[in-house]
Structure 1
Amino acid sequence: MVFAHDAEMSLLSAARLVNTAVEGGDPLRTPADLDAFLDREQYSGVRAGDDAELREILALRDRVRELWTMTEDELVIAVNALLADARALPQLVKHDHWDWHLHATASTDPLAKRVGVETAMALVDVVRAGEVARLKVCAAEDCDAVLVDLSKNRSKRYCDVGNCGNRANVAAYRARKAAASG
């Protein structure tokens, strides 16, 4: 394990949130769509379930997307801004099926604030571990999805959104076959 479990889950959820913007048609069109996404990602706390909350999450999604392409120094500034904007106060908590982990907002705080702070807290671990290079943009030429490379050898290059890795492997295989056949 590269990071604490809650940090990994937050990083992966943040990447999946960002990637909703690059999937074929935005799957976060309604508050119900957002609610289904939050259930899949196991976000806890209150939800307003309204259009205003959806707009806040979509704005946060754009802000989080930018984090994936920042230098370490830029990332530190952006993470600190997310934490300061939320007046984050880290605390150990245990709830539902989760063992001890960090929350830095109240479960009653607005959803976008909680998601932003959870993402920022996970990125704190990334920066402290010197692992900013694990935040990547898909290597496929026609894909802008982001990914978190949690592989031991830091070799993950393709996202999980559009079968980019499979498409690249098939293209490479066909190119080798064509070259071999002259």
Structure 2
Amino acid sequence: MAFARDTLPPPWQKGGAVPFSHDMVFSLATVVDLINTSPETGGPDDLADLEALNAFVRRRQVSGVAALTPHDLSAVRELRGSFHAVFTASGRDEAVSRLNTLLGRTRITPNLTGHDGFPLHVHYFAPGASLAEHLAADCGVALAHVLVEGEWERLRTCAAPDCDNVFVDESRNRSRVYCDSRTCGNRIHVAAYRARRKA
């Protein structure tokens, strides 16, 4: 997976140290993007066909992926559901159990690499991995770091009543409640303002 190097470190820094690397932050953004393609989050299925899956691969800059097949589409859609189950777990222990199940089915082979003009970083997927294995390894390890850091409550579902998108709350005080403040957040605030005006 090629990682975006302009990603800012998350603002929940502890004692001046950033708990997650840029690679982990990018992988977390990738798993959120993957989950939010699902109709389970309230929208259409944005991975309905191979064209959509290829668009996802380009958007998330996933490197080293061979030509995708219907099997890849099926496997990635199944993985998407497994990741969604981690985000919607009722508590930390359930999230750990679900993630352990996912990681237990995943070949993980850490490998330092630099490619496509990106600095040295770590890939966790095994050589020759399929797209689903690639995403399961890199995104699964990123989620594991969130849980190890005691930050599982940052795995959230949007509080807007008509949106079930997931997100990682990067606010310092864990106060973020909407997947996107410019869309869901703004829409809810406008509705509340209009309701107050009518009262």
For normalisation by structure 2, the TM-score amounts to 0.82
Matched, 1:170 2:187: no
Per-residue CA deviation, residues 26-47 of structure 1 (Å, 9 max, x unaligned), is 2212212101111101111223
Counterpart of 1:35?
Answer: 54
**Structure richer in helix, relative to its length:** 1
Per-residue CA deviation, residues 77-129 of structure 1 (Å, 9 max, x unaligned), is 22223222123122322222332322121352111011011111101210121
Counterpart pick for 1:152 among 172, 179, 183: 172
Matched, 1:86 2:121: no
Counterpart of 1:15?
Answer: 32
Q: 1:25-104 counterparts in 2 under 5 A?
A: 25-70=44-89, 71-104=91-124
Counterpart of 2:144?
Answer: 124
Contact 2:107–2:133 under 8 Å retained in 1: no
**AA of the residue aligned to 1:4:** S
Range that drifts further, 148-157 or 135-144: 148-157
Structure 2 CA distance for aligned equivalents of residues 170 and 118 of structure 1: 38
Unaligned runs of 5+ in 2: 1-8, 11-19
Range that drifts further, 35-44 or 25-34: 25-34
**AA of the residue aligned to 1:125:** H
The 3-state SS of whatever aligns with 1:126 is helix
The 3-state SS of whatever aligns with 2:192 is helix
Contact 2:82–2:102 under 8 Å retained in 1: no
Range that drifts further, 134-143 or 98-107: 98-107
Post-superposition shift, 1:48?
A: 3.3
Per-residue CA deviation, residues 37-78 of structure 1 (Å, 9 max, x unaligned), is 111011112233111111111111111111102222222222
Matched, 1:135 2:151: no
Range that drifts further, 125-134 or 153-162: 153-162
The 3-state SS of whatever aligns with 1:104 is strand
The 3-state SS of whatever aligns with 1:122 is helix
| Matched positions, count | 179
Post-superposition shift, 1:13?
A: 1.1
Range that drifts further, 154-163 or 49-58: 154-163
Structure 1 CA distance for aligned equivalents of residues 159 and 71 of structure 2: 34
Contact 1:34–1:54 under 8 Å retained in 2: yes
Among all aligned residue pairs of Structure 1 and Structure 2, give the percentage whose two residues are the same amino acid.
Answer: 42
CA-based RMSD: 2.0
Q: 1:95-114 counterparts in 2 under 5 A?
A: 95-114=115-134
For normalisation by structure 1, the TM-score amounts to 0.89
Unaligned runs of 5+ in 1: none
